[in-house]
Amino acid sequence: MAAVRKKKSARPARGELTRLREWERRLSLLLNYSRAISTHKDLPSLLRLLVDASCKILRAERATVFLLDPAANELWSRATSTNDVFRVPADRGIVGEAIARNRVINIPDAYADRRFNPDVDRASGFRTRSLLTAPLTDAQGRPLGALQMLNKRGGAFTRDDQRMLVLFAEQAGAALENARLYEELQAAIKDTIFRLAAAAEFKDEDTHNHLERVSRYSGVLAEELGLSEEWRRLIRLASPMHDIGKLGVPDAVLRKPGKLTEEEWVEMRKHPLHGSKILGNAANDVIRMSERVARCHHEKWDGSGYPAGLSGEAIPLEARVVALVDVFDALTTRRPYKAPFTLEDTLRIIDEGVGKHFDPRLVEAFHRCLPKILSIQREFADPAPPEKSNAL
């Protein structure tokens, strides 16, 4: 009886096996990046992550995320190397077509396609060979922008690249929508805080710019100290509330143009406690930090401040930060009772307060980030006072 031959099991061809392994590699990367993408709330850092992830997954030389600005009918993008923002019309070019038709556009030879604009290459010095562009949409299918890949390493983009880019674009669209909603929420929180803080500042004749400067100074100083992104976010929102307790101080004291009496100073020094009562017992992290800032920003490093006479590390860090930047702003701006101090005199007064009024480590950091502080000061300078008329 003839021996029965065993049938050989079918094996994928070498090319197909390579393709399957590459697809597996991409899915693994996509899964890993999806976790990271879903946790990014800050739009600039999310855009950088999307560019980095898409280039690695699709083996592309470059990638660009274009976001739609419906009001201006423009697409904007931020350069990852310089952080500069550039804009293009939303209804033109390859990206515009991908969004309008809601489909992937694969161009193997850029210079052979009439839709490609070579002026971009001439301006940047980059040579585009191939392009792969996919639309980005939100959960309801509304356009958010587009993701464009440039120059597949080792050849043109394939159908597998198109499929993978569609999968990645779905993840990117969800993350971008979440980041947009988060930014809108943060803007609403900031607007509410500034409006509440302005109620106290109106009584004391300070301006909205004072609140903005103190907020931004605090964020810059916190960054220089190496504090976390979340801590910096909190201090930017909490610092404008430092004088909210002035709502409890009589107008006659706050608006008095001359020197205060001892009794009036007693009333004025109550405003940190008033602020603590207004903001106390909150569950929200921003309001909890705001309460500590309001209560402790007049404490001094050597224990000579008020209302509790705290000293050194017993004073919350956020209150020490605000104490320093608030004094800087008070000295360098015009007030009803004084002209602005010069920068030289202001820095001398701050340096004289090292170890007495101010935390020495914070003053050192303040000097290091002074160029950023001065840039904010120029950007949010108070309007010049109106000139006095000589008319009778």
Catalytic residues: 246
Question: Contact at 8 Å (CB) between 176 and 144?
Answer: yes
| Residue 301 token pair | 């490093």
- CA 364/CA 225 separation, integer angstroms: 10
DSSP state of 63: E
- The DSSP result for 115-159, as a single string, is T--THHHHHH------EEEEEEE-TTS-EEEEEEEEEETTS---H
Q: Is the peptide bond before 316 cis (omega within 30 degrees of 0)?
A: no
State the amino acid at position 129 in one-letter form: R
Q: Are 222 and 385 in contact (CB under 8 A)?
A: no
Closest CA to 317 of 301, 303, 306: 301
CA 324 to chain centre: 23
Distances (CA, A) of 183 to 239, 256, 289, 306: 19, 40, 20, 36
